[in-house]
Structure 1
Amino acid sequence: MVTHLYLGVVIFAVFAVAVGQPAIKVICSKDSISVKWRVGPQLVPYAARLFIGSCTPSEWRVLDSGEGEASFDYKFSECGFARKMKGKHMVYQGDVSFRPQAKGKPAVFQQPIECIFKRPAGWIPSFMNPGAGASEGRSKLVFHMALLNDQLTGVAKTNVVPLGSFMPIWAAVEQKSHQPLLLLMEECVAATTPQLLPNSQIHPIIGNKGCLLESKTGSSMFLPRYHSSAIILYLQSFSFGIGEEVYIHCNLMVWDHDALDKTKKACHVTEHGSWELLDDPSLSSLCNCCESTCASKMKRATDWESSMNYNSVLGPIIITDQSNAHSNATLVASDSAIDSQSSLSSTN
């Protein structure tokens, strides 16, 4: 707390002692939060400077002991809580703080709080609704592909990704007049060129008709679907093309969700080390071929099947090795900087 003494107000030292061991109780409800915060007698005159997010206490009382108790009962939306989607969970994040100075000045005390819920069935971020973002069409189907932000709440604002962090890649198809269809990623590779050429260097990501190869050695996975017409590849960034422009090339396919087989599937390795079928774990035996070759009976593809495939390209994405950057800190910044304003584009 010494950093605040430059304000020349001795009472700041008192504040530091008063909030040093705060008694904070948090109760999370479906769309709201209830917090009780007991503070020492020194803070009783400053109750109006206690906050949860952007909200002041909804109730305040002085206890017989001389201490004060602030109660906060608010909806998450009222106090500026951040909503994030993490896998199967919805997370609301905020903080309680003591801010004796006007808005914009640093808090003397701040403690983060979280409420974690199971993600509601059918919940869809607004940007994922059909029609959002750039798209391409084929046979009356419109495909989308984008890099999401860390919270999975919108399109990423930067294409610079630190090595080892996650790149959530979202793909979706607008079904229009079609019956409900299942979107699959049949094959994905990373390359340093926006077009795949005979001499292009590539890094396999998904292969063998829907097997997430990257999940065998890292933490990559398919996230639970919010709709059959969309899929999110939660891809852990890799060392291929470090510092260069990397493009993700994917062959997207739509299929009947009731007709999955060894060549029409989405499989990843779970934390237990076994292959699992994203859309029905009870049928994970369809993924057994991921360790060999996934092939169906020989037959010629119909025109309908051919029209259900679409090649999409996402990029450029720039993967940076921060540990290597630190070891080379003596380099001139202008020589090692990466333009974080590069735009993320999707081409066919």
Structure 2
Amino acid sequence: MMASFWHSAVLLCMAVAANVAQEDMEVDCGPDSVTLRWRAARSQMDASLLRLGDCYPSSVSAGEAMFQVELSDCNFRRMVTGDTLMYMNELTSMSAPKAHLKSVFQSYPVVCAYERPADWAPPIFDVVLFHTYGQGDLVYHMGLMTDDFSGPHLSREYPLGSSIHILAAVEQKDHQPLLLLLEECVATTMPELQPAGPVYPIITKGCLVDSMTSNAKFEPRRETSEIRLSLKAFKFTVGEEVYIHCKLLAWDPSGLDTSRKACHYVKGHGWELLDDPSHSNLCSCCDSSCKSQKRRGIPSGKLGQTQNAVLGPLTTTDNSPA
């Protein structure tokens, strides 16, 4: 797949700003790396102060800085739009030791764009274990993760009482800040929801109802566009295949209310709002029925549209003595 990917790559090496000349910066987008050369002959800048994302120059000499970095490093942001896969970053300068040097350099975009293969999937996740879903121009991901959320969980079997870690994310792209919520999650024995089939409720209207009887909880966010969920392998249908169905929602971070939220139950304390415990009163309806309500001022567009996602199959095993 990698060979066909790069044979069809369309390099769009953008290091463009109105006041940047071609001789100042050269960008070469390789298969999985970027080489950037900055010449500071006209700007009198200390080239050692340059940063590509959070990366220092690979080499500095006589007013020239060279970066040779991987696309997986330096905080490159990945964006998928239609048939194009883009990696974006910025070249910036740290504060110069002399005040008059601060104004001679701005941040400049550095973008490498490639033709997106039809079978492309996020490279750090196995396509079987980490699923991708599309909703208009929003791209969602959802997967089963290791205990520290550093990568995909490679086994589909979970001993009864062990932890199931789930990560869901929406690609930020060029949108305003997005807050990802899990509106509904249930476990079933079917890859498609059936009206008459057995259902184990996990999340209802943003309330992690499973946390009332287990150690299930929302983990602290790393960023607003993703949400992390930890469950205990439940005694639903031990030994049978189970699928977890969820509704994902991209929402306005400032628009939380009783119908758009992420709440879990903390024993001895009560319901707690993941994103701001001081406003846990939004979770008070979790003990009764949280009704949807319309809010004024919430931006239109893709916000408020849900995306259905399913994980599985996974199996809960019971190794306790009969």
**What's the TM-score once normalised by structure 2's chain length?**
0.58
Whether 1:187 aligns to 2:170 is no
The answer on whether the counterparts of 1:140 and 1:176 sit within 8 Å (CA) in structure 2 is no
* Residue 137 (structure 1) shift: 1.3
Is the aligned partner of 1:253 residue 2:253?
A: no
Q: CA deviation at 1:242?
A: 0.7
C-alpha distance in 1 between matches for 2:299 and 2:78: 30
Count of equivalent residues: 199
Q: Is the 8 A contact 2:250 2:303 kept in 1?
A: no
1:167 match: 164
Paired residue secondary structure (1:175) = coil
Deviation at residue 149 of structure 1 after TM alignment: 1.4
SS of equivalent residue, structure 2 residue 301: helix
More deviation in 307-316 or 252-261? Answer: 307-316
For the 8 Å contact 2:259–2:293, the answer to whether it is kept is no
Deviation sequence 1:46-91 (CA, Å, 0-9, x none) = xxxxxxxxxxxxxxxxxxxxxxxxxxxxxxxxxxxxxxxxxxxxxx
Does the alignment pair 1:144 with 2:141?
Answer: yes
- SS at 1:284's partner residue? helix
How many angstroms apart in 2 are the aligned matches of 1:201 and 1:303?
A: 36
Contact 2:169 2:227 (C-alpha < 8 Å) held by counterparts: yes
- For 2:290 and 2:267, locate their aligned partners in 1 and report how far apart those are by CA, in whole Å: 22
Instruction: Give how far 1:138 is off.
Output: 1.1
Helix, strand or coil for the counterpart of 1:282?
helix
Counterparts in 2 of 1:127-142, with a 5 A limit? 131=122, 132-133=124-125, 134-142=131-139
The whole-number CA distance in structure 1 between the counterparts of 2:236 and 2:172 is 34
Give the whole-Å Cα distance in 2 for the aligned partners of 1:206 and 1:147. Answer: 17
> Does structure 1 conserve the Cα–Cα contact (< 8 Å) formed by 2:252 and 2:303?
no
Letter in 2 for 1:148: M
Instruction: Give me the whole-angstrom Cα distance separating, in 1, the residues matched to 2:264 and 2:225.
Output: 19
Quote the Cα distance in structure 2 between the aligned partners of 1:298 and 1:186. 16
2:281 alignment partner in structure 1:
285
- 2:291 alignment counterpart: 295
Deviations 1:231-290 (A, max 9, x none): 111111110011000000000001001110000000001143410000000100000000
* Conserved? CA contact 1:138–1:307, under 8 Å: no
Kindly indicate whether the alpha-carbon contact (under 8 Å) linking 1:187 and 1:210 is maintained by their aligned counterparts in 2: yes
The 2-side partners of 1:298 and 1:266 are apart by 18
User: SS state of the match for residue 282, structure 2?
Assistant: helix
Q: Deviations over 1:182-217 (max 9, x none)?
A: 00000000000000012221100000x100001101
Q: Does 1:178 align with 2:175?
A: yes
CA distance in 1 between counterparts of 2:294 and 2:168 reads 29
Cα distance in 2 for residues equivalent to 1:226 and 1:175: 13
Name which of 227, 231, 234 aligns with 2:230: 234
1:151 deviation in Å?
A: 3.1
Please say if residues 251 and 304 of structure 2, whose CA atoms lie closer than 8 Å, have aligned partners that are also in contact. no
* 1:135 to partner: Cα distance: 1.4
The 3-state SS of whatever aligns with 1:153 is: coil
Shift of 1:292: 0.6
Q: Retained in 1: the 8 A contact 2:248–2:308?
A: yes
1:196 to 177, 193, 208: 193
**Structure 1: 4+ residue segments shifted above 6 A:** none
Name the CA distance, whole Å, in 2 between partners of 1:283 and 1:147.
30
Q: Is 1:264 paired with 2:260?
A: yes
SS at match of 2:254: coil
Task: Call closer, same or farther: CA 1:305–1:176 in 2, change over 3 Å.
Answer: closer
Structure 2 counterpart SS, 1:322: coil
Q: Which residue of 2 aligns with 1:78?
A: none
**Native 8 Å contact 2:146 2:153 kept in 1:** yes
Please report how far the alpha carbon of residue 152 of structure 1 lies from its aligned counterpart in structure 2 after TM superposition: 2.2
Q: Which runs of 5+ in 2 are unaligned?
A: 1-72, 80-121, 126-130
Aligned partners of 1:139 and 1:307 also within 8 Å: no
Which of these two proteins has the greater Rg computed from alpha carbons? 1
Secondary structure of 2:154's match?
coil
Going by fraction, where is helix more abundant, 1 or 2? 1
**Please, what is the CA RMSD of the aligned residues?**
2.6
Question: Separation in 2 of the partners of 1:298 and 1:265?
Answer: 14
Contact 2:214 2:232 in 1 (8 A): yes
1 CA distance for matches of 2:142 and 2:230? Answer: 13
> Alignment identity in percent?
47
Q: Is the 8 A contact 2:133 2:307 kept in 1?
A: no
User: Matched residues in 2 for 1:221 and 1:271: separation?
Assistant: 11
